[in-house]
Amino acid sequence: HRCEVASVPRLRRQHVFLDVARPVLCSVPAMIRRLFVSFATSSAVAQGLAMGGVFRGAMIRGSGGATSAVPSARQGRAGATRMFFGDLFKAPELGSGPRINYDTLAGLPASFAREAAEYAMAKEAPSKSKDGHSITTFAGGCFWGLELAYQRVPGVVATCVGYTQGHLEQPTYKEVCSAMSGHTEAIQLTYDPSVVTYRELCELLFTRIDPTAKDRVGNDFGPQYRHGIYPHTDEEMAVAQQFIEDNQSKFNRPIVTECKKAVVFWPAEEYHQQYLEKGGRNGSPQSAEKGCTSTIRCYG
């Protein structure tokens, strides 16, 4: 299961256009980039609203969480237009707002977030947790569903969601969703190698993504949803590289899943942690029991 919204051909064309245009946008001034991205977003949102408001701006803002910036269906195209001009003239101001209060994050055994925050503030990407388990990091689109999938794996001890591979320290959800901080939504977990192997963890990731789709998982589009394997040790890196090589023959296109050494992982806000297990936006808890195979509903 992936975090998906309605499939709309016109929206897909806009997404492809953004994929092609992204390298060009990286070489032009920030104001022009914001003009283009804001226009593409508002255009896609307007189209989605005209069809019943089901799109909800997933292309740029993504489906990692609710956002008040996306107008309701009743606002229609006028609401999307207001959003476009609001985004255009609003300065990015990355890193200028309130930071995530890591003191509010839950700790073990409920979540790995508190310990992960300690490592982040020390600018570390360790390979072992305080209790001696192995640490590793994966990205696979919306981190809500990905976390629940790994929570269910026997041998995975603890998990948390957050942001990694970006250039901004202590990023917030809003900053990451702007696609300007460089981060991707990710999960960090601890595991017992005597129960589950690192390759098995990599295999699970590939069951949840199309590894040949760049910056895209389901209908979540943008660099903040790029998928990746981020090993914490040389041994994990060797396994990850071999895993990708072994799987390339299964696809007609090149695998574009990132395979990079783990860097600082910044935990996300507390309300994102174990989101689906807690009930999601619909207040309907989903099982994180080991071995559970029930369908993961990304929005709860």
The confidence score (pLDDT) of residue 161 equals 99
Mean pLDDT of 21-49: 47
Mean pLDDT of 127-135: 98
The confidence score (pLDDT) of residue 93 equals 76
Mean pLDDT of 107-118: 97
Mean pLDDT of 148-155: 99
Residue 32's pLDDT band (boundaries 50, 70, 90)?
low
| Residue 89 predicted with pLDDT over 70 | no
Q: Of the candidates 283, 234, 237, which has an alpha carbon nearest to the alpha carbon of residue 259?
A: 237
Mean pLDDT of 212-239: 97
Vertex 170 angle, CA 131 and 141, to 5°: 80
- Residue type, position 43, single letter: S
- Write out the catalytic residue numbers: 142
CATH, range 102-282 = 3.30.1060.10
- Residue type, position 158, single letter: A
Distance CA 253, CA 250 (A): 9
Please answer whether residues 145 and 217 qualify as being in contact, where contact means their C-beta atoms are separated by less than 8 angstroms: no
Distance CA 265, CA 242 (A): 24
Whose structure tokens read 């089901």? Answer: 54
| Proportion of the chain above pLDDT 90, given as a percent | 65
pLDDT digits (tens, 9 = 90+) for 251-281: 999 999 999 999 999 999 999 999 999 998 8
The confidence score (pLDDT) of residue 208 equals 97
Cβ count near 256 (within 10 Å): 15
Classify the C-alpha dihedral 111-113-114-119 as positive or negative: positive
The ranges assigned to domains in the chain are: 9-88, 102-282
Please answer whether residues 106 and 158 qualify as being in contact, where contact means their C-beta atoms are separated by less than 8 angstroms: no
Cβ count near 28 (within 10 Å): 11
Enclosing H/E stretch for 147: helix 143-151
Per the prediction, the chain carries an average pLDDT of 80
pLDDT digits (tens, 9 = 90+) for 168-198: 999 999 999 999 999 999 999 999 999 999 9
Mean pLDDT of 8-29: 46
Per DSSP, the three-state class of 157 is strand
Please answer whether residues 107 and 113 qualify as being in contact, where contact means their C-beta atoms are separated by less than 8 angstroms: yes
pTM for the structure as a whole: 0.73
Higher pLDDT, 280 or 85: 280
